[in-house]
C-alpha cells in the first residue's frame, strides 16, 4: 500500500520517529508522500525524504496559508520540485469552508501554482473544500500531467465528472469509514478501481475504529478494507490496484 497524502512531518510524530516508521512498514505500507503546506515546511520535508527511503514529498502552498505566500515563494517551489524525491506539487487548491474571505487571493495562488505544475509537468495534489465548481473550472484552464483530488469530498456525480478526464484521480481517506459518509461510500463503491488512491491525511481524520485519535499511515489498511467491503471484493485487490495506480502516477 502507498499513503499518497500524510503530514508525518508534523510535530506529533517527532518522538521515536524510527519506531513510528517501523510500525507503518509492519502494517503493509511501503511508501508515504508528505505534502507541503507552506514554504517553511519544504526543507523539513526534503530532509525526511533524504533520510528515509520510503518517504517522498510534495511542495505547495495550502489555501489556508495564503498569508505565508511571499515574493520568493514561487521561486522556492520551482527550486524544490527539482529535488529527486519531490513527486508532486501540493497540497494546493481552494477552501471555502474556513477561508470564505480570501476567495480571490486563493484563486490567484492556486492558478500560479498550477502554472508551475504545468511548466514542470508535475502531478498536483488538490485541496477542494466546498469549492467544487471553482476548483474544476480553474483546473480545466491548464494542461496538467495528473490531478489528484486529495481527501475527496464531492458526490458520485462530481467524481464521475472529474473522471471524464483520463488524468484525474480520486484519493480516499478515513472519512469513507464514517457511518454518515454516504456520498463518499457511494463514490468508493462505483468509480473505477484504477482511478482510486489511498491516503490517511494523518494526523487528521483517523478511520474507524480509531476515529477521533491521532491518525497514522499504519491505519491505511482500514481504508482499504472499507473500500473492499463496499465493492464486495478481496482487500488485496484494493491494495494491489491502488499501489499500482500510485506508482504509475508518481513514478517511483
Q: What is the pLDDT of residue 210?
A: 97
Could you give the C-alpha distances from 26 to 22, 60, 179, 217, in angstroms and in order? 6, 30, 28, 11
How far, in Å, CA of 244 to CA of 131, rounded? 29
Q: What is the pLDDT of residue 99?
A: 82
First to last CA, the chain: 13
CATH number of the structural domain 2-250: 3.20.20.140
Q: What is the pLDDT of residue 53?
A: 98
Q: What is the pLDDT of residue 65?
A: 92
Chain centroid, CA 221 distance in Å: 16
Pairing, β 168-172 against β 147-149 = parallel
Which cell is 26 given? 509492519
* Cα radius of gyration (the chain): 17
What is the block-wise mean pLDDT of the chain (252 residues), using blocks of 10 residues? 98 94 98 97 97 98 92 95 97 92 94 98 97 97 98 97 98 98 98 98 98 97 98 98 98 94
Provide DSSP, 74-132.
Answer: HHHHHHHTTSTTEEEEEEEEEETTT-GGGHHHHHHHHHHHHHHHHHHT--EEEEEES-H
Which cell is 116 given? 508551475
Map out the domains of the chain as residue ranges: 2-250
Amino acid at each position: 500500500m502507498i499513503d499518497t497524502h500524510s503530514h508525518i512531518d508534523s510535530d506529533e510524530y517527532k518522538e521515536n520517529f524510527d519506531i513510528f516508521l517501523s510500525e507503518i512498514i509492519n502494517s503493509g505500507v511501503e511508501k508515504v508522500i508528505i505534502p507541503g503546506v507552506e514554504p517553511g515546511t519544504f526543507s523539513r520535508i526534503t530532509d525526511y525524504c533524504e533520510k528515509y527511503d520510503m518517504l517522498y514529498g510534495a511542495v505547495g502552498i495550502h489555501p489556508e496559508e495564503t498569508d505565508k505566500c511571499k515574493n520568493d515563494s514561487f521561486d522556492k517551489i520551482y527550486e524544490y520540485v527539482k529535488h529527486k524525491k519531490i513527486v508532486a506539487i501540493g497540497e494546493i487548491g481552494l477552501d471555502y469552508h474556513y477561508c470564505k474571505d480570501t476567495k480571490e487571493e486563493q484563486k490567484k495562488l492556486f492558478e500560479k501554482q498550477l502554472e508551475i505544475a504545468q511548466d514542470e509537468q508535475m502531478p498536483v495534489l488538490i485541496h477542494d473544500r466546498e469549492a467544487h465548481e471553482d476548483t474544476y473550472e480553474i483546473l480545466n484552464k491548464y494542461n496538467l500531467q495528473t490531478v489528484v483530488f486529495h481527501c475527496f469530498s464531492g458526490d458520485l456525480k462530481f467524481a464521475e465528472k472529474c473522471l471524464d478526464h483520463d488524468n484525474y484521480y480520486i484519493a480516499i481517506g478515513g472519512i469513507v469509514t464514517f457511518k454518515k459518509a454516504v456520498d463518499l461510500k457511494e463514490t468508493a463503491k462505483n468509480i473505477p478501481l484504477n482511478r482510486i488512491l489511498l491516503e490517511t491525511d494523518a494526523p487528521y481524520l483517523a478511520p474507524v475504529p480509531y476515529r477521533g485519535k491521532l491518525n497514522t499511515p499504519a491505519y491505511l489498511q482500514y481504508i482499504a478494507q472499507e473500500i473492499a467491503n463496499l465493492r464486495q471484493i478481496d482487500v488485496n485487490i484494493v491494495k494491489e490496484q491502488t499501489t499500482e495506480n500510485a506508482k504509475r502516477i508518481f513514478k517511483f
